Every structure is written in C-alpha cells, then in structure tokens.
Amino acid sequence: MTIDPQDVASLRAKTGAGMMDCKNALVEAQGDAAAAEVLLRKKGIAIAGKKASRAANEGCIASYIHHGSKLGVLVEVNCESDFVARNEGFREFVKDIAQQIAAANPSYVKREDVPAEVIAREKEIYAAQVKDKPPAAIEKICAGKLEKFYSTICLLEQPFVKNPEITIKDHLTAKIAALGENIVIRRFVRWQMGEELPSQSA
C-alpha cells in the first residue's frame, strides 16, 4: 500500500524512530498510525532489552542554562561508542534530557534510586489519608498513589515535556532502537538561583 510521507514524518516526530522503521510500521499496520506506534514501541522495547546488558562507557556531559541564567542543569548520558556519542541524534537526545530536568525537576533517574525510607514515608502518608477504608482498599490506593509519586520524581517515568503522550523511558527506548546502542542516563544535577543549600557540618 502507498504510505503518505507526511504520516511517516508525523510518526517519526512522535516516536523518535527511524524513517524506514516508521514507514514499515505503517505498512504493517495498514496505515493505522496508532497501531504503527504500538508496533514501534514493542520493537524498541525488544531491542533495548537485548542491549541493556552491554557496557556504555562513552557518551557526553551536557549543560543547559535556562533563559535568564537562574536555572542550570548538568547531565551525563552514556552510550557504547564514541561514534554514537558524536551523533547528532544522540546529542539532540541529551539536550532533550537536560531540558526535561530543567522543566520537570526530577529527584532521581529511576525508581530503583529512590531510598527505601522515602518510599516508606510516602506509604505512611498515603495510608493515613485513607485510614478508615478496608485494608485491601488502603493497599490498592497506596499502590496507585506511589505510582503517581514515581511519575513525578523519577526522570524515566515522567511524561516527556515535548510529547506528554510518552514517558522519558519511551523516548530513551526509541533512541536505543534508532541508534543501535545501549544508552544510559547516568546522573544529573539541577541548580536554581536562591534555592536553599543543604546544611553542612563545621
């Protein structure tokens, strides 16, 4: 079947996948953009899963200074080769991540980074809010609130500010599929003018 190049470009903008991958997905989905997006995500997740164990020791550290110079971000994103580290698509991805951190102010890269005591404190707060409900309902409500908490404070689980229909993890998965290498968002720091510094011992 004939696929409209505009549809291919639109799907590429939404998913970050390569042009040929988008075209092939649209052909397989018989022109259904939503179904094609699902196909691309499944493919990307499969590719990312295969590459996740591979060492990512190259990459770059990027900075982003927001307009007015009152907010700044440093982020380290790793890949497998210097070739990909210099790739325009990789650099654009790193820039996206720096801007995401500036805009959405995550505290951690992934949920596994959240300290156990922070999770315990949140669960305690949620349980206290619904203490009069049956135990099974409390557990279910707390689990739902905790998922929402992760989507707020964990970078990988936040909606992508440039395309809220996907998460940063989805964006990362698509980029791994497009570039063919494992990519890891290693660490970041975000500074804002006037924010209170942590107390230091003398």
The pLDDT profile of the chain, 202 residues, written as one tens digit per residue, is 788 888 888 887 776 666 777 888 899 888 888 888 888 777 766 566 666 677 788 999 999 998 889 999 999 999 999 999 999 999 999 999 999 999 999 999 999 999 999 999 999 999 898 888 888 888 889 999 999 999 999 999 999 999 998 999 999 988 888 888 899 999 999 999 887 766 554 4
Q: Quick one: pLDDT at residue 12?
A: 77
Question: Are both 167 and 106 inside the same structural domain?
Answer: yes
Q: Is residue 188 part of a domain?
A: yes
Q: Quick one: pLDDT at residue 133?
A: 85
Torsion angle of alpha carbons 192, 196, 199, 202, nearest 10°? 90
Number of domains in the chain: 3
Buried/exposed code over 92-120 (b: 16+ C-beta within 10 A; e: otherwise)? ebbebbbbbbbebebebbebeebeeeeee
Q: Containing domain of residue 178, as a range?
A: 58-110+154-192
Question: Are both 105 and 18 inside the same structural domain?
Answer: no
Torsion angle of alpha carbons 170, 173, 174, 175, nearest 10°? 120
Question: Are both 71 and 169 inside the same structural domain?
Answer: yes
What CATH number should be reported for the domain holding residue 9? 1.10.8.10
Q: Would you give the distance in Å from CA 86 to the centre of its chain?
A: 21
Question: Are both 174 and 102 inside the same structural domain?
Answer: yes
Question: Are both 68 and 95 inside the same structural domain?
Answer: yes
Q: Quick one: pLDDT at residue 45?
A: 60
Nearest Cα to 185, choosing from 173, 198, 202, 197? 173
Q: Is residue 202 part of a domain?
A: no
Question: Are both 129 and 159 inside the same structural domain?
Answer: no
Say how far apart CA 79 and CA 81 lie, in whole Å: 6
Q: Quick one: pLDDT at residue 44?
A: 66
3-state secondary structure the chain: CCCCHHHHHHHHHHHCCCHHHHHHHHHHCCCCHHHHHHHHHHHHHHHHHHHCCCCCCEEEEEEEECCCCCEEEEEEEEECCHHHHCCHHHHHHHHHHHHHHHHHCCCECCHHHCCHHHHHHHHHHHHHHCCCCCHHHHHHHHHHHHHHHHHHHEHHHCEECCEEEEEHHHHHHHHHHHHCCCCEEEEEEEEECCCCCCCCCC
Q: Would you give the distance in Å from CA 15 to the centre of its chain?
A: 13
Question: Are both 88 and 162 inside the same structural domain?
Answer: yes
